[in-house]
Every structure is written in C-alpha cells, then in structure tokens.
C-alpha cells in the first residue's frame, strides 16, 4: 500500500468517524427531548388524576348528591303518605 493510499484512507476514516459522532449526538438530543416531553405528560396526567379523584370524592358525598337531586333534577323528599306497600308475589 502506498503512502498516498494510506493517507486517503486515514482521512476518509476520520471523516466517517466525525459524521458518526455528529449522528450519535443528534440522536441523543432527540431522545432527551422525547424523554422530557414524556415526563411533562406524566406530570400533567398526575395532576389530571388528582383533579378527577377530587371530583369523584365530591360526587360520592351524600349531601352533594342530595343537593344535586333537589336543585338540578327538581326532586322532592318523599312523604310517608306517598309510600305504598306492594304485596309480595311468591
């Protein structure tokens, strides 16, 4: 192998290494960006979960159910004279 062929191969190999290093760095940056986006989504989903759990607990509250029934659904308390006994069928 002559000296000029060796120099050309050496320079070509170094250029290839430089391009591979740049490609590696760009992939690392891309993956770090994706990781940051996913972590941001996780935080948002945890906040949404806390809000929904709070809403669920407030909807399970009997006084809130009673208030909703009376105000929104316009329901009234049942009087004893409205209750009728149904004969059991056996």
Q: With contact defined as beta carbons under 8 Å apart, do 83 and 89 qualify?
A: no
The reported pLDDT for the residue numbered 33 is 98
φ/ψ (deg, to 5) at 5: -65, -40
Which residue ranges make up each domain of the chain?
3-77
Q: Measured between alpha carbons, how far is 52 from 25 in angstroms, rounded to an integer?
A: 41
The string of pLDDT tens digits covering residues 33-82 is 999 999 999 999 999 999 999 999 988 888 888 888 898 999 888 888 88
Q: Is-above-0.85 flag for pTM? A: no
**Does residue 11 register a pLDDT over 80?**
yes
The reported pLDDT for the residue numbered 90 is 63
pLDDT bracket for residue 88 (50, 70, 90): confident
């Amino acid at each position: 192998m002559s000296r000029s062929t060796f120099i050309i191969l050496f320079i070509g190999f170094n250029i290839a290494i430089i391009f591979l290093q740049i490609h590696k760095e760009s992939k690392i940056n891309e993956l770090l960006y994706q990781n940051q986006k996913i972590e941001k989504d996780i935080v948002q989903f945890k906040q949404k979960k806390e809000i929904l759990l709070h809403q669920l607990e407030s909807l399970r509250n009997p006084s809130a159910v009673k208030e909703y029934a009376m105000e929104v659904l316009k329901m009234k308390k049942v009087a004893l004279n409205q209750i009728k006994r149904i004969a059991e069928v056996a």
